[in-house]
Amino acid sequence: MRKNNDWREDHVVKRDILKAIRICGFEPVLIFDDRQSVINMWSDEGICTAKINSGNP
């Protein structure tokens, strides 16, 4: 998912992935994620998100 030596924050990487998905003509309708910063980004993009527990504190 992430190239070597890519130290950007998760929400930045996933926003770029979302852009690529949309360019291909797809529109996600539901996302499962465990990081609040990423969930906030999905919400900003208008995508419903289900928060899951990663098991990490």
pTM across the whole model? 0.82
Q: Confidence class of residue 1 from pLDDT cuts 50, 70 and 90?
A: low
SS (H, E, C) the chain: CCCCCCCCCHHHHHHHHHHHHHHCCCCCCEEEECCHHHHHHHHHCCCEEEECCCCCC
pLDDT at 54: 76
